[in-house]
Amino acid sequence: MGIKSSTPYGKDYGGCGLVGIIDRSGRSVSGDMIVSSLTSMKDRGNGLGSGYAVYGAYPDLKNSFGMHIMYNDISARGPVEELIKTKLKLVLAEPVPVKKIHAIPDPPQFWRYFVDPPATIDKTDEDGIDDLIVSVVMDINERIDNAYVVSSGKNLAVFKGVGHPDAIAEFFRMQDYSGYLLLGHTRFPTNTPGWWGGAHPFTILDWSIVHNGEISSYGTNKRYVEMFGYKCTLLTDTEVVAYLLDLLIRKKGLSLTAAASVLAPPFWKDIQEMEPLKKDYYTALRMCYANASLNGPFAILMGFDNGILGLNDRIKLRPLIVGRKGDIVAIASEESAIREVIAEPDDVWAPKAGEPIIVTLKEDAKH
Amino acid sequence: MGDRIKIDAQDLHYKDLNQKIHDALGSGGKDIELSHVNGQRYIADGLKNDIRMTINGVPGNDLGIFMNGPVITVNNNAQDAVGNTMNGGKIVVRGMAGDVCGYGMRGGKLFVLKDVGYRVGIHMKGYKMLNPIIVIGGNAGDFLAEYMAGGVIVLLRLFGRQNGDSTTGDYLGAGMHGGTVYIRGGADRKKIGKGVDVAELTDADHGLLKGIIREYADDLGLDADKILDGRFEKLVPLSTRPYAKLYTY
């Protein structure tokens, strides 16, 4: 499947487009596959932001955290590397390989750092190690001018920037990557700037988010996650969803389905009709995590180390469709994007509003 | 009918595909078959011709938008907004269809074999001889017939949903002030929007329904008698002018 050029037909496109592809057996999906799927939705996105997440990108360094960092000005490299070396153990630092192309004029510079926790920290304290990584990410984003962390997970590569999805893929050499789970996004910015840091996916640790819609509750959600030390610095509503998931699932210990019910809670009128146990459960979720619920239209895909979660807002104001063939599952804005790379799917279905679609690796393929 | 003109849509942008369709019509084509369609939007946009079109593959959003005449058969699923503001003709989908199908539809027919998504038939309207009809063989998402002002929607629920429950969707007919929705298997009173009432079918309803179902079953190779054997209820608006007093008093 070749990578097709972005629309030469003028500016009559609209809406974000997203796609996620996972091979549940853990086998590698090629970078070209997600690019073909995403670029097939020619009428989505407008070249002001595209990006990809590749889970399984760095098998040789899979036990280290991989920090992709964007430098708007390379003078920020010194302070960033000093901070990393102070707080963490640097295993490898290198520029992210890119191909200079006309379609991407004047790009920022990208470096990747593979880091381990310092010797002083208890290796069994996974939560403490994750907290440390999160704090380093927040420090860089908040305190070091012209430096932004693009991704910080293990065995995870995230590439994003301003450009059409085919151009961004060519620039970051997506054909050189493969992984068991890939996400792609083409952006049509509506109410926040179309800049390199505003392209999707948004990430923290192993969580990555691509989103079509608007998070109208951004202010409430942002203030809520700030209470727990997360800093929203990337000027785009979607960023907060990544932090909400890290907070709800990793810190608060909610299951994926519970977290999905926090983001898109059932309506009170429907809770009233539930059997007593369920009623108490959803009432408690809504009461405890009111500030974490998302208002506004959304279709989101969330990647994590063992799978993918797809979720719509509870009245389904954005498209989302699922296709499956054997162990391969794709979730996308349009069925055509699934069929572009899966010729004869065994199943195709549209998730209900607010109903999470969770697809995980098979037991023997888990990481 | 004349010869069938075949167009290969593989990797064509919708503008190029629609141009090829226009070229085919310009050369007198009355029967067009598209193959390898995958996601091209606006197919048959605004066509007024009395033609037949067969689509192999999944057409993109807004299939048959503003269309007024053609009869289109999709041998697969369709995406969102099929028959958007359609004025006449017929679209038969031999699979499922997405959200907002038949939006603001003012005439013609939309027959879907399986499930449809959310907000199907919203703002549908009818006027004098124009009486749009949507028939859904499967289930519907929420907001079916929202703000409906005219025409007919028939929800058959012949198949279970992929994920279990057979459904009419919530907020069914919310804000409806004209037209009729027929529901095979009856309506769940808790899922009905404000401003609508559930009623038994009259003889006239049965007559109308029989005609629609026979045509639908013929087009999709189903057994009309079996479908008509089910118990139907209808949804009607409580008022044709729910907001009559909003600005005048």
Q: How confident is the model over A205-256, as pLDDT tens digits?
A: 999 999 999 999 999 999 999 999 999 999 999 999 999 999 999 999 999 9
Greater confidence, B161 or B127?
B127
Q: What is the pLDDT of residue B239?
A: 83
Q: What percent of chain B has pLDDT over 70?
A: 96
- Residue A191 in this model has a pLDDT that exceeds 60: yes
Residues 6+ apart with CB under 8 A from B150: B124, B125, B126, B127, B130, B131, B132, B178, B179
* Alpha-carbon gap: A84 to the closest alpha carbon of chain B (Å): 46
Could you tell me if A271 lies within 8 Å of chain B, comparing CB atoms?
no
In the set A16, A19, A320, A328, the catalytic residue is A16
Which residues on B lie below 8 Å from A353 (Cβ)? 118, 141-142
3-state SS class at B89: strand
Greater confidence, A107 or B127?
A107
Q: Does residue B158 lie in a domain region? A: yes
CATH of A17-264+294-360, one of 3.60.20.10, 1.20.1440.120, 3.40.718.10, 2.90.10.10: 3.60.20.10
Contact call for B115 and A350, based on CB within 8 A: yes
Residue B144's CATH number: 2.160.20.60
Q: Determine which helix (DSSP H) or strand (DSSP E) holds B205, and give its type and residue range.
A: helix B203-220
3-state SS class at B23: helix
Which residues on A lie below 8 Å from B142 (Cβ)? 315-316, 353
3-state SS track over chain A: CCCCCCCCCCCCCCCCEEEEEEECCCCCEEHHHHHHHHHCCCCCCCCCCEEEEEECCCHHHCCCEEEEEEECCHHHHHHHHHHHHHHCEEEEEEECCCCCCCCCCCCCEEEEEEEECCCCCCCCCHHHHHHHHHHHHHHHHHHCCCEEEEECCECEEEEEECCCHHHHHHHCCHHHCEECEEEEEECCCCCCCCCHHHCCCEEECCEEEEEEECCCCHHHHHHHHHCCCCCCCCCCCCHHHHHHHHHHHHHCCCCHHHHHHHHCCCCHHHHHCCCHHHHHHHHHHHHHCHHHCCCCCEEEEEEECCEEEEEECCCCCCCCEEEEECCEEEEECCHHHHHHHCCCCCEEECCCCCCCEEEECCHHHCC
Contact call for A339 and B38, based on CB within 8 A: yes
Q: Which two tokens stand for residue A179?
A: 């992984």
Residue written as token pair 């070396």:
A85
User: Which of B37, B72, B42, B83 minimizes the C-alpha distance to B56?
Assistant: B37
Contact call for B162 and A339, based on CB within 8 A: no
Q: What average pLDDT does this structure show over A268-288?
A: 97
Contact call for A316 and B39, based on CB within 8 A: no
Contact call for B38 and A347, based on CB within 8 A: no
Interface A:B, Cβ pairs < 8 A: 63
* Alpha-carbon gap: A337 to the closest alpha carbon of chain B (Å): 7
Note which residues in 41-60 of chain A have CB less than 8 A from chain B. 41-43
Q: What is the pLDDT of residue A2?
A: 37
Q: What average pLDDT does this structure show over B147-153?
A: 96
Q: What is the pLDDT of residue B244?
A: 75
Contact call for A40 and B142, based on CB within 8 A: no
Q: Does residue B103 lie in a domain region? A: yes
- Residue A5 in this model has a pLDDT that exceeds 60: no
Could you tell me if B36 lies within 8 Å of chain A, comparing CB atoms?
no
- Residue B1 in this model has a pLDDT that exceeds 80: no
User: What are the residue ranges spanned by the domains of chain A?
Assistant: 17-264+294-360
Neighbours of A75 (CB within 10 A): 11
- Residue A366 in this model has a pLDDT that exceeds 80: no
Q: What is the pLDDT of residue B162?
A: 54
Residues 6+ apart with CB under 8 A from A223: A291
Contact call for B38 and A40, based on CB within 8 A: yes
What ipTM, to 2 d.p.? 0.94
Active-site residue A232, yes or no? no
* Cis, bond preceding A276 (omega within 30 deg of 0): no
Q: Does residue B83 lie in a domain region? A: no
Residue-range definition of the domain harbouring residue B171? 96-246
Could you tell me if B193 lies within 8 Å of chain A, comparing CB atoms?
no
Which residues on A lie below 8 Å from B58 (Cβ)? 335-336, 339
DSSP B171: S
3-state SS class at B39: coil
Query: What single letter denotes the amino acid at residue A329?
Result: V
Query: Residue B163 and residue B172: Cα distance in Å, rounded?
Result: 20
Q: What is the pLDDT of residue B247?
A: 72
Q: Does residue B112 lie in a domain region? A: yes
Indicate which of B17, B35, B42, B58 best probes the interface with A, i.e. most A CBs within 10 Å of its own CB: B58
Q: What is the pLDDT of residue A11?
A: 55
Could you tell me if B62 lies within 8 Å of chain A, comparing CB atoms?
no
- For the ranges A11-15, A144-148, B37-41, the lowest mean pLDDT is seen at A11-15
Query: Residue A264 and residue A289: Cα distance in Å, rounded?
Result: 11
Q: What is the pLDDT of residue A9?
A: 58
Q: What is the pLDDT of residue A4?
A: 43
pLDDT single digits (tens) B65-122: 999 999 999 999 999 999 999 999 999 999 999 999 999 999 999 999 999 999 999 9
Which residues on A lie below 8 Å from B190 (Cβ)? 273
A262: left (phi over 0), alpha (psi -120 to 50) or beta: alpha
Could you tell me if A260 lies within 8 Å of chain B, comparing CB atoms?
no
Q: What chain B residue is nearest to A341 in terms of C-alpha separation?
A: B38
pLDDT single digits (tens) A310-326: 999 999 999 999 999 99
Could you tell me if B19 lies within 8 Å of chain A, comparing CB atoms?
no
Query: Residue A244 and residue A222: Cα distance in Å, rounded?
Result: 9
pLDDT single digits (tens) A32-86: 999 999 999 989 999 999 999 999 999 999 999 999 999 999 999 999 999 999 9
Q: What is the pTM assigned to this prediction?
A: 0.95
Query: Residue B78 and residue B98: Cα distance in Å, rounded?
Result: 7
pLDDT single digits (tens) A319-361: 999 999 999 999 999 999 999 999 999 999 999 999 999 999 9
Indicate which of A19, A269, A336 best probes the interface with B, i.e. most B CBs within 10 Å of its own CB: A336
Question: What is chain A's mean pLDDT, rounded?
Answer: 95
E-state strands within B75-224:
88-93, 109-112, 133-136, 149-155, 178-184, 196-199
| B198 — pLDDT class (breaks 50, 70, 90) | very high
| B128 — pLDDT class (breaks 50, 70, 90) | confident
pLDDT single digits (tens) A294-304: 999 999 999 99
Ordered strands of the A65-71 beta sheet: A89-95, A109-116, A65-71, A147-151
Residue written as token pair 């697969």:
B76
Q: Does residue B2 lie in a domain region? A: no
Q: Does residue B138 lie in a domain region? A: yes
CA angle A58, A118, A129 (to 5 degrees): 70
Q: Looking at the partner chain, which of A9, A316, A348 has a beta carbon nearest the beta carbon of B13?
A: A9
Q: How many domains, in total, are found in chain B?
A: 1
* Alpha-carbon gap: B181 to the closest alpha carbon of chain A (Å): 21
Residues forming a β-bridge with A240: none
Q: What percent of chain A has pLDDT over 70?
A: 96
Residue written as token pair 């009486």:
B131
Could you tell me if A350 lies within 8 Å of chain B, comparing CB atoms?
yes
